């Protein structure tokens, strides 16, 4: 998606705050960083990647769990992605421009928040 819309990003100044992207342990940080450096090197001053902590066997044993135990920080991201997949309009990207796609995503989150608030009332 970044490569397809690179002209849009290059036209905008890099005025975003410094952010940290939390990644799953299945990602290769160096490969991802190298690919972004090739496409848009200025953005790398603003982005930092961090692998989500993976619970050790000792931590699992202390909690009395075995097998798969989701990392707390990763689970938030996975859960948010699952909620977004419930929006039928996001199943396929029908939007032609990046701002419209972003607004569609924002509308899905607003819809989700309103449904949660209505359920609590």
Query: Residue 76's pLDDT is what?
Result: 66
Per-residue pLDDT tens over the stretch 68-96? 776 666 666 667 777 777 776 666 667 77
> Could you tell me the pTM of the whole model?
0.44
Q: Which residue has the higher pLDDT, 24 or 108?
A: 108
Structural contact between residues 19 and 47, judged by C-beta atoms closer than 8 angstroms: yes
d(CA 100, CA 116): 24
Could you tell me which of 75, 85, 93 has the C-alpha nearest to residue 112? 85
Alpha-carbon distances, residue 34 vs 25, 27, 66 (angstroms): 17, 13, 36
Longest dimension (CA), the chain: 53
Please check whether residue 96 is in contact with residue 104, taking contact to mean a CB–CB distance below 8 angstroms: no
């Amino acid at each position: 998606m970044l490569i397809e819309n690179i002209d849009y990003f290059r036209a905008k100044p890099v005025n975003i705050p410094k952010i940290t992207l939390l990644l799953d342990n299945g990602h290769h940080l160096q490969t991802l960083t190298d690919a972004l450096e090739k496409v848009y090197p200025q953005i790398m001053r603003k982005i930092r990647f961090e692998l989500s902590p993976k619970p050790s066997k000792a931590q699992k044993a202390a909690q009395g769990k075995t097998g798969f135990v989701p990392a707390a920080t990763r689970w938030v991201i996975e859960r948010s992605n699952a909620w977004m997949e419930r929006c039928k309009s996001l199943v396929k990207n029908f939007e032609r421009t990046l701002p419209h796609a972003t607004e569609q995503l924002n509308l899905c989150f607003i819809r989700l928040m309103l449904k949660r608030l209505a359920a609590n009332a």
